[in-house]
Amino acid sequence: MSVITQGTRQHQPGKNPSLPPPINTENPLYWVRKNLFNSIPDTSLTLISLYMIWLIVPGFVDWAFLDADFFTDDRFGCTSDGACWGLITSRWDQFIFGYFPREERWRVVLCFFLLALAMSPVLYDKIPYRRPLLVHTICFPVIAFWLLIGGFLGLEAVETSRFGGLMLTLVLGITGITLSLPIGILLALGRRSEMAGVRVICVFFIEFIRGVPLITLLFMASVMLPLFLPPGVTFDTLLRVVIMVTLFASAYMAEVIRGGLQAIPTGQSEAAQALGLSNWQSLRLIVLPQALKISIPGIVNTFIGLYKDTTLVVIIGLLDLLGVGTANLADAKWLGLSSEVYVFVAVIFFIACFSMSRYSIFLENKLNTGHKS
């Protein structure tokens, strides 16, 4: 039998052994060299970045923590050079509950807790007791309505005008997020429908909503809508705002999902039809799951946009997390502490948005089935 010589090794044909790679790619030093100091531009960018971090981070840490006053009753109590967190520590309940009646706040706390419980089976499908939890998720909107607004079953009614702070932000954000996805899917399907009437309505709706700034829509909801309604008929400002925020996000969602639908090859629905699945089954079991999976980055992008857009409600007089902060800045006791308020609000928003972003990456990895076509 012939023998092949490769370098100093000899082997028989087809028996060439697999050798370890010449450089240990697992080595952290290798990673540093490859990713941070690979070339001259690479190295200079790394050094510039390090310099900027050195410039900003220590100063910020000094201001926010080391030189800061945490507990004071007004701005005159802040004697050091750093941040004056007294506004936040003394008014934290307003930041969370808004102007919700003090003796009823346990309802909001309970609602937060139940919300976490309701979200868990949707976010993690391997959670224990998933089925009973899902039943809770389905009932949660009613429970939340009862807890937050009340007025029946032994709970006192609370006016929605007393909602505020983080709680208002969450009510708007989460209702908007949960409703905009299904509405967006329906609009996307409608826009691709073969029925001309449905298609025209969907196109008109999407293009109208996308063509107008959210602020305009909110103004319309709060100022113009009452003009069209018969005198004496009012409906809740919060409800109007929720509807507008949801519709606004739905229009963007529809386009994101339409992109996903267009990326699915026609062969998929043909195969489903050839197997005897109805159009509806083919859509629900084959096309939509794949289209939604492709659209995850865009969907989460829209979610994050919606969540941050909730701060715009301040212009029609609702005080969300940011609104509560700015309202307190007008208080003579705390004049001039805008940096503290904005940093605090930014951190809270960042936590929510960054979590959504990380979750979307987790979901993409989980749904990855090795298919690229």
372 touches other proteins by CB under 8 A:
yes
Provide φ and ψ at 358, rounded to 5°: -65, -40
Percentages (nearest 5) of helix, strand, coil residues in the chain: 70, 0, 25
Report angle CA 152, 156, 162 to the nearest 5 degrees.
Answer: 120
Provide φ and ψ at 265, rounded to 5°: -60, 145
Closer of 224 and 271 to other proteins (Cβ): 271
Report angle CA 265, 270, 272 to the nearest 5 degrees.
Answer: 110
Tokens 């004049």 belong to which residue? 335
Q: What is d(CA 69, CA 79) in angstroms, rounded to the nearest whole number?
A: 8
Closer of 102 and 372 to other proteins (Cβ): 372
Can you tell me which of 16, 234, 281, 339 binds other proteins, judged by CB under 8 A? 281
Tokens 């009973």 belong to which residue? 132
15 touches other proteins by CB under 8 A:
no
Q: What is d(CA 175, CA 141) in angstroms, rounded to the nearest whole number?
A: 9
276 touches other proteins by CB under 8 A:
yes
Can you tell me which of 88, 249, 251, 286 binds other proteins, judged by CB under 8 A? 286
232 touches other proteins by CB under 8 A:
no
Closer of 87 and 294 to other proteins (Cβ): 294
Shortest distance (Å) from residue 174 CB to other proteins: 27
Region binding other proteins by CB under 8 A among candidate stretches 60-68, 97-105, 132-140, 272-280: 272-280
Binding residue count for other proteins, defined by CB under 8 A:
24
Residue 353, Cβ density class (10 Å: 0-12 exposed, 13-18 middle, ≥19 buried): middle
265 touches other proteins by CB under 8 A:
yes
Shortest distance (Å) from residue 366 CB to other proteins: 12
126 touches other proteins by CB under 8 A:
no
271 touches other proteins by CB under 8 A:
yes
DSSP code for 224:
I
- Tell me the Ramachandran region of residue 259: left when phi exceeds 0, alpha when psi lies from -120 to 50, beta otherwise: alpha
Closer of 12 and 368 to other proteins (Cβ): 368
75 closest CA partner among 361, 359, 366, 331? 331
Region binding other proteins by CB under 8 A among candidate stretches 5-13, 120-128, 336-344, 363-371: 363-371
Region binding other proteins by CB under 8 A among candidate stretches 145-153, 289-297, 329-337, 341-349: 289-297
14 touches other proteins by CB under 8 A:
no
Shortest distance (Å) from residue 297 CB to other proteins: 17
Contacts of 286 (CB under 8 A, 6+ apart): 268, 269, 271, 272, 277
Region binding other proteins by CB under 8 A among candidate stretches 50-58, 101-109, 279-287, 344-352: 279-287
Residue 277, Cβ density class (10 Å: 0-12 exposed, 13-18 middle, ≥19 buried): middle
Q: What is d(CA 237, CA 206) in angstroms, rounded to the nearest whole number?
A: 23
369 touches other proteins by CB under 8 A:
yes
DSSP code for 69:
B
Region binding other proteins by CB under 8 A among candidate stretches 101-109, 252-260, 310-318, 362-370: 362-370
275 touches other proteins by CB under 8 A:
yes
72 touches other proteins by CB under 8 A:
no
Can you tell me which of 48, 270, 315, 358 binds other proteins, judged by CB under 8 A? 270
Residue 105, Cβ density class (10 Å: 0-12 exposed, 13-18 middle, ≥19 buried): middle
Can you tell me which of 36, 134, 277, 356 binds other proteins, judged by CB under 8 A? 277
367 touches other proteins by CB under 8 A:
yes
Three-state secondary-structure class, residue 192: coil
Shortest distance (Å) from residue 274 CB to other proteins: 4
Residues contributing to the site for other proteins (CB under 8 A): 265, 267-268, 270-278, 281, 285-286, 289-290, 293, 367, 369-373
